[in-house]
């Protein structure tokens, strides 16, 4: 073997097993050859409690250089998996198995960076606008990376990623999926298109952009709910109100709220499928117009008024579910709606619809299955870790952020990516995503499930290492070990 070859290091952090030359990094850019030693290049992030919970706090970061191995306030520090490294496949203990005292209880936190092929993102887009039919493919750079899934109240939903896109298709599809997930989970903006649907620019915690238009607000409710909320404010100021909505269009005079107030019938006739009085389905096709329909002219959903009931001068307000679209009409002598200026007395009710709409946001939940050999990094009996999580004996966090663990088999968890420390997500080019994960458990329970007790190190030793970097806790997160 040549002298140059002896300077290389073999990275065993993932199945690719890069051979790294001096001063270079592996294919994931996470590990490098530093003076002939394999090192994780990003800092190990240590959460530091900064909020006053009963006493003055002295930031550990300010004392770190003076630490000589003595006692540190471990309840104010939490070792995250971000920058910790990995042992995948986990034939040896996790990179850090840390002991600390919390409220007088000896706790253990198993800390690692997990490599996830079985992972994805659920994306909630606050908008009434149609982005695409359910099951239509979502693409990044022309490659399929997910699909449109079941819409929720006031929001459209995407399911992105998953093992079939990451590893089950072409190499280009897998890389596009990995890059899309990494960008979304890292808080970056991504450009997506939906087959036979909209073009999107999405970024966690920011308003979505749909077909080049930044969405400002999500709907106050469906058309029927809007009638219920604001019927009293319209009573006496207008004879009829139609709230146009792709899902449930509401009609004041027929609606239970209108009848409760004593609103008289107006002879209005609405196209679509009548559900219950004052509630109509399928008034138009989905789109980006009024109330998430394809309508530019709201009168298109009205048939001729009943001449036995309607009268000239009848006042009609038509409004969308965000207040963005609204129009006022009066019936002429032939009972045809003629558009007029919105009377000042109706300004307040339209403005109130807008004011009651929450700001439109894009929400991204990272979802992954922490199964397989990952659990072997915590215990010699992997199923014991799963059972302790399901029994709430072990708490699962992601970069210190709270997670939701799904019921049923395995450790399938979700986390809001805006609550995870910046820079916590990474990738390996298999392709797969890398995310921090921590399992926190009492020492006696950890010993009972067959944990790697011989690998436990005190938190004071970990935070004193040169790779450790204290960062302030995220203000909206609960403290992970409380």
In DSSP terms, 439 is beta-bridged to 110, 396
> 30-57, pLDDT tens digit by residue?
888 988 888 888 899 999 988 665 544 4
pLDDT score at 69: 47
Cβ–Cβ < 8 Å for 427, 434: yes
Mean pLDDT over all residues of the chain? 91
User: Distance between CA atoms of 308 and 207, rounded to whole angstroms?
Assistant: 48
* Share of residues in the chain with pLDDT > 90 (%): 79
Give 378-426 as a DSSP string.
TBSSHHHHHHHHHTTSSEEEETTEE-EEPSSSS-EEEEEGGGSPTT--E
Q: What is the pTM of this model?
A: 0.88
Q: Tell me how far CA of residue 313 lies from CA of 222, 237, 317, in angstroms.
A: 28, 13, 13
SS3 for 108?
A: strand
Cβ–Cβ < 8 Å for 353, 362: no
When mean pLDDT is compared across 14-28, 89-103, 334-348, 464-478, the lowest value belongs to 14-28
pLDDT score at 36: 86
pLDDT score at 174: 96
Closest by CA to 83, choosing from 117, 54, 112, is 112
Going by pLDDT thresholds of 50, 70 and 90, the confidence category of residue 213 is: very high
Q: Is 23's pLDDT higher than 80?
A: yes
> Rounded to 5 degrees, what are φ and ψ at 244?
-80, 130
User: Distance between CA atoms of 159 and 139, rounded to whole angstroms?
Assistant: 11
Cβ–Cβ < 8 Å for 235, 390: no
User: Distance between CA atoms of 45 and 24, rounded to whole angstroms?
Assistant: 23
How would you label 107-123 residue by residue, b for 16+ Cβ within 10 Å and e otherwise? bbbbbbbbbbbbbbbbb
Most confident of 75-89, 265-279, 461-475: 265-279
Closest by CA to 380, choosing from 118, 106, 94, 111, is 94
> Rounded to 5 degrees, what are φ and ψ at 284?
-165, 175
pLDDT score at 481: 86
How would you label 16-48 residue by residue, b for 16+ Cβ within 10 Å and e otherwise? eebebeeeebbebebbbbeeeebebebbbbbbb
Strands 249-251 and 240-244: antiparallel
User: Distance between CA atoms of 228 and 404, rounded to whole angstroms?
Assistant: 34
Cβ–Cβ < 8 Å for 25, 32: yes
Stretch 128-157: mean pLDDT: 96
* Share of residues in the chain with pLDDT > 70 (%): 94
Going by pLDDT thresholds of 50, 70 and 90, the confidence category of residue 60 is: low
Tell me the chain's radius of gyration from C-alpha atoms: 29
In eight-state DSSP terms, residue 281 is E
Stretch 446-473: mean pLDDT: 93
> 392-442, pLDDT tens digit by residue?
999 999 999 999 999 999 999 999 999 999 999 999 888 999 999 999 999
Stretch 198-222: mean pLDDT: 95
């Amino acid at each position: 073997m040549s002298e140059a070859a002896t300077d290389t290091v073999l990275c065993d952090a993932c199945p690719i097993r890069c051979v790294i030359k001096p001063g270079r990094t592996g294919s994931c850019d996470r590990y490098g050859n530093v003076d002939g030693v394999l090192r994780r290049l990003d800092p190990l992030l240590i959460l530091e409690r900064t909020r006053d919970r009963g006493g003055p706090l002295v930031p550990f970061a300010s004392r770190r250089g003076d630490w000589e191995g003595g006692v540190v306030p471990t309840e104010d520090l939490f070792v995250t998996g971000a920058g910790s490294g990995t042992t995948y496949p986990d034939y040896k203990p996790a990179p850090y198995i840390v002991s600390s005292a919390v409220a007088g209880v000896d706790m253990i936190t198993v800390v690692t960076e997990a490599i996830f092929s079985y992972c994805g993102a659920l994306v909630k887009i606050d908008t009434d606008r149609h982005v695409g039919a359910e099951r239509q493919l979502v693409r990044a750079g022309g490659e399929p990376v997910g699909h449109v899934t079941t819409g929720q109240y006031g929001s459209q939903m995407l399911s992105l990623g998953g093992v079939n896109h990451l590893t089950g298709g072409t190499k280009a599809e897998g890389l596009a999926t990995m890059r899309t997930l990494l960008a979304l989970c890292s808080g970056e903006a991504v450009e997506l298109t939906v087959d036979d649907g909209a073009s999107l620019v999405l970024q966690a915690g920011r308003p979505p952009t749909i077909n080049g238009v930044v969405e400002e607000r999500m709907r106050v409710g469906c058309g029927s709910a809007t009638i219920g909320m604001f019927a009293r404010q319209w009573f006496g100021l207008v004879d009829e109100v139609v709230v146009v909505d792709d899902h449930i269009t509401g009609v004041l005079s027929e609606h239970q709220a209108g009848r409760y107030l004593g609103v008289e019938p107006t002879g209005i006739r609405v196209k679509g499928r009548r559900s219950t009085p004052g509630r109509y389905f399928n008034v138009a096709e989905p789109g980006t117009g009024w109330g998430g329909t394809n309508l530019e002219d709201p009168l298109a959903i009205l048939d001729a008024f009943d001449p036995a009931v309607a009268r000239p001068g009848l006042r009609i307000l038509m409004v969308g579910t965000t207040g963005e679209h609204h129009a006022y009409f009066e019936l002429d002598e032939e009972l045809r709606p003629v558009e007029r200026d919105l009377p000042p007395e109706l300004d307040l009710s339209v403005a109130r619809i807008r004011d009651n709409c929450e700001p439109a946001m894009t929400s991204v939940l990272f979802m992954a299955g922490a199964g397989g050999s990952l659990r072997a990094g915590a215990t010699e009996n992997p199923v014991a870790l799963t059972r302790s999580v399901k029994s709430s004996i072990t708490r699962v966090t992601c970069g210190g952020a709270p997670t939701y663990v799904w019921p049923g088999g395995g450790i399938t968890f979700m986390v809001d990516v805006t609550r995870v420390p910046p820079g916590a997500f990474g990738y390996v080019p298999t392709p797969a995503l890398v995310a921090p994960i921590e399992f926190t458990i009492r020492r006696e329970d950890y010993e009972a499930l067959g944990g790697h007790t011989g690998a436990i190190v005190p938190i004071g030793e970990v935070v004193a290492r040169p790779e450790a970097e204290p960062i302030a806790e995220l203000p909206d997160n609960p403290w992970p070990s409380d």
